[in-house]
């Protein structure tokens, strides 16, 4: 088992990564110090892993809330449902919430923990690759508003993250590939050696070989932990974690968040960012080709879906969170393993890039 620490002073916390993390009774019980525990999960994950966790919770009294599957679960209505459950069951400030699921359950549970009685403990037990390498680490918690994704939320850190690679065995292939987009992202923005390792080993990772998976999650979380420790609230370097996200979000918005997974949009968006970097002479075509080849091997889409037009993408990009005083900053590449945050690009190059990716 590997342990990585997210170094945030008195809010520091461990990420445990390995093959049988959830079978380690001692570990689970060591991290739960409350006598009131609410496990929040969904109807997909509960039949797979809930019993296993409950069995290992020694004599800790706990309750369970099983929510519907899907992005729409990340709502104010479900936040209210969690809070109502906590009040009805007379949970006090020393309680602990456990998020058992993917990024949807993790983001919602984290925000509920941030809100309940001005903040209670929560533990992340991420069960998707995306959640294990990204959303469970770093404390971004949120629910969606009908007018926008993640519009209501808080930075609120968990007290531990327990990532068991075994749970990824039941993850559908497309969801696994979507998680790989975020993995590839760490290599591209700040870890050239890891990127080169992925170029050699992507098929092994995709076969869900346990050692390769542990290494993949460990490197991803180490990168994320370092960035978060330096810039928790995203006033600078943390924005590089959004490589490909501006293009990706604009594709997701054009698709009304239907048809593509977030990671798929991020994958295509990263290739678009690489292409724009090439048009601005920041990197050469060879590097763009390497990004394209790795994304294709990870079974991620590399073209914008048919039916979307240039105007859709350009309009949707304008509402990006990285806009400052009307200027849209983009995350681009100076090399493989080196990202830059810049507004120094031409509208012409941006248009050429988008046109290049339209079907
Ligand atoms: P998800 O939580 O919807 O999970 C994807 C699907 O896999 C769901 O159907 C889920 O029920 C299922 N599933 C989960 N674990 C499984 C398992 N082990 N076996 C079989 N099926 C399983 O989606 P996700 O991709 O994990 O997360 C996406 C969410 O994460 C979005 O809401 C996004 O905004 C958020 N996110 C947050 C951050 C952050 O920093 N907080 C970062 C990236 C994404
Ligand atoms: N997923 C991007 C971040 O946590 O900042």
135 lines ligand 1 (CB under 6 A): yes
* 33 confidence band (pLDDT: 50, 70, 90): confident
Sequence ranges of the domains in the chain: 2-170, 173-357
Q: At what angle do helices 210-230 and 192-206 cross, to 10 degrees?
A: 140
Q: Which atom number of ligand 2 is nearest to the Cα of residue 137? A: 4
Residue of 175, 217, 224 best suited for mutating to test ligand 1, as the one with most atoms within 8 Å of CB: 175
Distance between Cα 103 and ligand 1 center (Å)? 4
* 359 confidence band (pLDDT: 50, 70, 90): confident
**Alpha-carbon torsion, ordered 15, 242, 98, 117, to 10 deg:** 120
Which residue in the list 121, 140, 185, 279 is annotated as catalytic? Answer: 140
Residue of 102, 224, 232, 244 best suited for mutating to test ligand 2, as the one with most atoms within 8 Å of CB: 224
Give domain 173-357's CATH number out of 3.40.50.300, 3.40.50.720, 1.20.1090.10, 3.40.50.880.
Answer: 1.20.1090.10
Active site residue 193: no
Residue nearest atom 2 in ligand 2 by C-alpha distance: 241
For 2-170, CATH gives: 3.40.50.1970
Distance between Cα 243 and ligand 2 center (Å)? 10
Q: What is the mean pLDDT of the chain?
A: 96
Quote the pTM value.
Answer: 0.97
Q: What string of DSSP letters covers 147-187?
A: TEEEEEEEE---SEEEEEGGGGGGS-HHHHHHHHHHHHHHH
Q: How many CB atoms sit inside 10 A of residue 175's CB?
A: 17
Please state, in angstroms and rounded to a whole number, the distance separating the CA atoms of residues 189 and 164: 26
Q: Residue 118: CB partners within 8 Å, gap ≥ 6?
A: none
- Strand 323-324 with 13-18, pairing: unpaired
Active site residue 238: yes
Give per-residue pLDDT as tens, 316-327: 998 776 677 788
For residue 24, give the 3-state DSSP assignment. Answer: coil
Distance between Cα 267 and ligand 2 center (Å)? 15
Which residue in the list 74, 185, 190, 224 is annotated as catalytic? Answer: 224
Distance between Cα 150 and ligand 2 center (Å)? 12
Which residue in the list 74, 121, 249, 279 is annotated as catalytic? Answer: 249
% pLDDT > 90, the chain: 92
Q: Which of 170-179, 253-262, 315-324 has the lowest mean pLDDT?
A: 315-324
Give per-residue pLDDT as tens, 58-82: 778 899 999 999 999 999 999 999 9
Q: Which atom number of ligand 2 is nearest to the Cα of residue 241? A: 2
Active site residue 311: no
Query: Ligand 2: residues whose CB is within 6 Å?
Result: 134, 138, 140, 238, 241-242
Can you give the pLDDT at residue 144? Answer: 93
Distance between Cα 267 and ligand 1 center (Å)? 16
Nearest to 125 by CA among 40, 8, 242, 216: 40
Nearest to 234 by CA among 107, 104, 315, 341: 341
Can you give the pLDDT at residue 345? Answer: 96
Residue of 103, 139, 167 best suited for mutating to test ligand 1, as the one with most atoms within 8 Å of CB: 103
Which residue in the list 74, 121, 219, 245 is annotated as catalytic? Answer: 245
Residue 215, pLDDT > 80, answer: yes
133 lines ligand 1 (CB under 6 A): no
Q: Are 13 and 136 in contact (CB under 8 A)?
A: no
% pLDDT > 70, the chain: 99
Active site residue 71: no
Please state, in angstroms and rounded to a whole number, the distance separating the CA atoms of residues 41 and 66: 5
* 147 confidence band (pLDDT: 50, 70, 90): confident
Give per-residue pLDDT as tens, 281-310: 999 999 999 999 999 999 999 999 999 999
Residue 278, pLDDT > 90, answer: yes
Active site residue 200: no
């Amino acid at each position: 088992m590997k342990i990585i620490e997210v170094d945030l002073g008195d809010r520091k916390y461990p990420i445990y990564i390995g093959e049988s993390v959830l079978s380690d009774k001692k570990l689970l019980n060591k991290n739960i110090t409350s006598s009131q525990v609410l496990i929040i999960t969904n109807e997909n994950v509960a039949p797979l892993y809930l019993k296993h966790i409950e069995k290992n919770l020694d004599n800790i009294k706990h309750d369970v809330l099983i929510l519907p599957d899907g992005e729409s679960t990340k709502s104010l209505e479900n936040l209210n449902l969690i809070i109502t459950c906590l009040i009805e069951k007379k949970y006090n400030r020393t309680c602990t919430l456990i998020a058992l699921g993917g990024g949807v359950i993790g983001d919602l549970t984290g925000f509920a923990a941030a809100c309940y009685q001005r903040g209670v403990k929560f533990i992340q037990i991420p069960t998707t690759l995306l959640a294990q390498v990204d959303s469970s680490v770093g404390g971004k918690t949120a629910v969606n508003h009908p007018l926008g994704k993640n519009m209501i939320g808080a930075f609120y850190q968990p007290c531990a993250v327990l990532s068991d690679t075994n749970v990824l065995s039941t993850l559908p292939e497309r969801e696994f590939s979507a998680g790989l987009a975020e993995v590839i992202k760490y290599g591209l923005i700040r870890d050239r050696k890891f990127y080169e390792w992925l170029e050699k080993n992507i098929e092994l990772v995709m076969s869900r070989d346990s050692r390769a998976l542990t290494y993949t999650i460990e490197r991803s979380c180490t990168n994320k932990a370092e960035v978060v420790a330096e810039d928790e609230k995203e006033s600078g370097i943390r924005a590089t974690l959004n490589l490909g996200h501006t293009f990706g979000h604009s594709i997701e918005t054009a698709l009304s968040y239907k048809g593509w997974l977030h990671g798929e949009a991020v994958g295509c968006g990263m290739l678009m960012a690489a292409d724009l970097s090439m048009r601005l002479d920041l990197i050469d075509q060879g590097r763009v080709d390497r990004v394209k080849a790795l994304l294709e091997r990870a079974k991620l889409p590399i073209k914008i879906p048919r039916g979307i037009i240039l105007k859709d993408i350009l309009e949707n990009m304008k509402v990006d969170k990285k806009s400052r005083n009307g200027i849209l900053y983009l995350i681009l590449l100076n090399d493989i393993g080196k990202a830059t945050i810049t507004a120094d690009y031409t509208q012409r190059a941006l248009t050429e890039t988008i046109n290049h990716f339209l079907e």
